[in-house]
Amino acid sequence: MTDETNLIAWSLEEVAERHGDPTQAVYDRLFAKSPEMAELFIGDKTGAARGEMLAVVFRTLLDFSSEGAFGANMVRAEIINHEGIGVPPKVFTTFFATVMETMRDLLGEDWTPPVAAAWDELLVGLDAAIHRETAA
């Protein structure tokens, strides 16, 4: 690993390589923590929307962590889109934290201090983007 390595990208790739698709693990964790969230996904019988959404969330996190404009715009757009389906902005913080916690569990001993720090920095940045949007 070099200083140039994007540790967020590394975490997502490593988890996929070792454990396959983490969709189930992320949503199981989310619904255990916030059972009321499960009701929002009641129409998603096959889980296709959950899978597609997480794929877009990963793309958003990757872009955000490399300081691209797409990530911040995506968060902004999805906060507005999701308000229409009853998802309040503050839940975005819960969701991103759930993704981080799932990665932490799945990486086990490879959740090293630099990896943890990269995720901390990402979550702080995302929170700022969420607050900017809701304060606007």
The amino acid at 115: V
Residue 86 is given by DSSP the state T
Q: Cα(19)–Cα(99) distance, rounded to whole angstroms?
A: 14
Least separation, in Å, of the C-beta of 60 and ligand HEM?
A: 5
Contacts of 66 (CB under 8 A, 6+ apart): 6, 9
Q: At closest approach, how far in Å is the CB of 133 from ligand HEM?
A: 11
Contact code string over 3-32 relative to ligand HEM, x by CB under 6 A: ------------------------------
3-state secondary structure of 45: coil
Task: Provide the binding-site residues for ligand HEM, judged by CB under 6 A.
Answer: 37, 40-41, 43-44, 49, 52-53, 56-57, 60, 74-75, 78, 82, 85, 87, 91-92, 95
